[in-house]
Structure 1
Amino acid sequence: MENSNNHYCLSITPSSLELLSIIGFITLILIRVLYIIHRSSQPRSASSQQKPLSTLIVLGSGGHTAEMINLLNVLQKNSFTPRYYIAAATDNMSLQKAQVLENSWLNEGGVEEVGSAKFMQIYRSREVGQSYITSVGTTLIALAHALWLMIKIRPHVILCNGPGTCIPLCAIAFIFKILGIRWSYIFYVESIARVRRLSLSALLLYKLRMADQLFVQWPQLKSKYHRAHYVGRLM
């Protein structure tokens, strides 16, 4: 008598295994990203701030550097050390101002350790007036340079306030978080000149949730970008 039960054999092909592996990998990455976003939104614990934090400070030309120096003057210098200043390769003035600042702290006894500051330059992704076609190659070079710098520095804190040179550095820092290489806290302070809308750099860090905390100096920005922190005028 013929058995009426139908037997089904589930066969898993190599292509199916590859698809399942890809789906599993993407799922793990998404879970990791969600964990990073959740953790970034939590307040810093006091215990995590007992030891000095290596700090990467991204400088921009003109007003960006002036505002950053004003901000650095109110920080506890010895809590954020060593300090690594980075400016665009074509911006020598910003690093000179940072060196003057560090020398003034040293003369005043505001820092405990000589040589606690390092000064570096990074390639620009795109110069003013450069065509978008040629900027593809320079962007790749800038990303590679940013990766090398981040591997070398491995900062605990990244402090920036607007220059486009901060984007590749912050993006690589975010990828390092996902991969578990280094957790760098990204703090972005929007310029006082931005009253009604964020700058492009701030908008990217805000929308992509790369910044741990984004500070604005006008209440109009806080009402428009709810995850931003309104701190009033800092300068």
Structure 2
Amino acid sequence: MDVLGFPILIIVLITAFTFVRLYFVLTATSDAKPSGRRGDSGKCSLAVFLGSGGHTSEALSLLSALDFNRYAPRIYIISEGDTLSMQKAVVLEATKAADAPQTMSPVRTYSSSPICANH
């Protein structure tokens, strides 16, 4: 092989491999069926993280717009000592209780959760 022949061969092989790979990826994804999707009546569990970051009102506002019958159980994870966030979550659940009875999960604090920090 001459000096220019080898680099051209490498470029042709890489291009051919790229097109073959692209073909298999595109045909595989077009035939793929979604797995694990819930229908309109399927229930989903939901974890709500509330803490001392100041986003409690926004999180509870978003949560109040959800269908409590569909998103059950709801698990609230609240930082230890953040009684205001806990009270707001309890009030929200109490106001929605008529729509979705017996769907509130116990409130858990960070102190009962494993903590991992790599510093």
TM-score category (smaller protein)? 0.5 to 0.7
Greater RCO (CA < 8 Å, at least 6 residues apart): 2
Alignment RMSD: 2.5
Counterpart-to-counterpart distance in 2, 1:62 and 1:105: 25
Distance 1:115 1:92, change over 3 A: same
State the TM-score, normalizing by the size of structure 1.
0.31
The answer to whether 1:110 aligns with 2:99 is yes
* CA displacement, residues 46-71 of structure 1 (integer Å, 9 cap, x when unaligned): 94243211111101236311111111
Give every structure 1 segment of 4 or more consecutive aligned residues whose post-TM-superposition deviation is greater than 4 Å: 44-47
State the TM-score, normalizing by the size of structure 2.
0.57
Query: Where do 5+ consecutive residues of structure 1 fail to align?
Result: 1-43, 124-140, 144-167, 169-235
Partner in structure 1 of residue 38 of structure 2: 48
Contact 1:102-1:117 within 8 A present in 2 as well: no
Partner in structure 2 of residue 120 of structure 1: 108
Query: Where do 5+ consecutive residues of structure 2 fail to align?
Result: 1-33
Structure number with larger C-alpha Rg: 2
Count of residues in correspondence between the two structures: 81
Counterpart-to-counterpart distance in 1, 2:57 and 2:65: 13
Partner in structure 1 of residue 115 of structure 2: 142
Which of these residues, 42, 50, 63, is aligned with residue 59 of structure 1?
50
The answer to whether 1:73 aligns with 2:64 is yes
Partner in structure 2 of residue 87 of structure 1: 78
Contact 2:74-2:103 within 8 A present in 1 as well: no
Counterpart-to-counterpart distance in 2, 1:115 and 1:80: 9
